[in-house]
Amino acid sequence: MKYEELLELTEDELLTKEKELKDQLFKLRFQHTLGQLENPVKMKGIKKDIARIKTLLSERSLGTE
């Protein structure tokens, strides 16, 4: 997900999206442990999306956006 797309979301939507991504990352880690993960690069992308959301939320809480 691109940063510009995240800017359009509200704080509640961002928190919901973060929770969904964390759940998805958990499932991917579980698949990776079992050796069933087809695309391990997907984990890296999800981690980056979570970091983008956390950065945006902290910017908004500080009022620096």
**Is the pLDDT confidence value at 51 over 90?**
yes
Mean pLDDT, residues 30-56 taken together: 94
Alpha-carbon gap, residue 3 to 23, rounded angstroms: 20
Domain boundaries in the chain? 19-65
pTM confidence score: 0.88
Q: How far is CA 1 from CA 5, 36, 55, in A?
A: 7, 24, 14
Residue 65, pLDDT score: 62
pLDDT category, 1, cuts 50, 70, 90? Answer: confident
- 18-38 tens-digit pLDDT: 999 999 999 999 999 999 988
